[in-house]
Chains A and B, each alone.
Chain A
Amino acid sequence: DADVTQTPRNRITKTGKRIMLECSQTKGHDRMYWYRQDPGLGLRLIYYSFDVKDINKGEISDGYSVSRQAQAKFSLSLESAIPNQTALYFCATSASGRSTDTQYFGPGTRLTVL
């Protein structure tokens, strides 16, 4: 079984709809992250959480919110989806704050906003 899972894997929605993307991990990591990937732009950090009570904005948090329901679960919400939020979204986890620590990525959620 995958260590980092994301649901749904694909989602098509309409402008103005609220949508939630979910991430679960079985790695026992404290730290979790949400990124979006756009062609030619690489990965950009949306939000990150260093433990259950810690939530931090990344470089592109506008239009998004997150919830850390448990150590293993970190969900991303789009309160009112817009077409420029069409992208591939990745969740990632890491064990601690050492700069050498590897981040482990989920398989991604492809979101299309019409």
Chain B
Amino acid sequence: GNSVTQMEGPVTLSEEAFLTINCTYTATGYPSLFWYVQYPGEGLQLLLKATKADDKGSNKGFEATYRKETTSFHLEKGSVQVSDSAVYFCALSDGGANSKLTFGKGITLSVRP
């Protein structure tokens, strides 16, 4: 079956540090890949997505590239801010008319001033 594996957390960084959050996946076919973010006390919201190999999703300074050869979709940001403190979830959708999302366990990012 499908699965998403995220690096263990939590992660604590200083403001303006470089961020990488690793995500690898197992899926049949050609999944679409997503990063969702959950700010404190809120529901999840889509951060970025990529639908095919070598696509790069980007939003709010975050980027992730769909790497089929390594089955990865790592999230990066060059300079984090305190407002980026949140829980980040990697997810995949396996495609087709009845596709559903499979989520990783999530990782908590804390950015200190």
Residue positions of A touching B, CB distance < 8 A? 4, 33, 40-45, 48, 50, 58, 90, 92, 97-100, 102-108
Contact = CB atoms under 8 A, between A and B. Distances in A.
Q: Which 6 A-B pairs have the closest CB atoms?
A: A105-B43, A97-B97, A99-B95, A42-B105, A99-B93, A99-B32
Interface of B is mostly: loop
A66 B100 CA distance: 18
B99 A99 contact: yes
B103 interface: yes
Contact of A100 (B32, B44, B98, B103): B32
Interface stretch (B14-22, B45-53, B64-72, B76-84): B45-53
Interface residues of B, number: 25
The interface centre, meaning the residue of B42, B44, B97 with most chain A CB atoms within 10 A of its CB, is: B44
A97 B100 CA distance: 8
Interface of B: 31-32, 34, 41-46, 49, 51, 89, 93-101, 103-106
Given A50-B98, A100-B49, A43 B43 contact: no
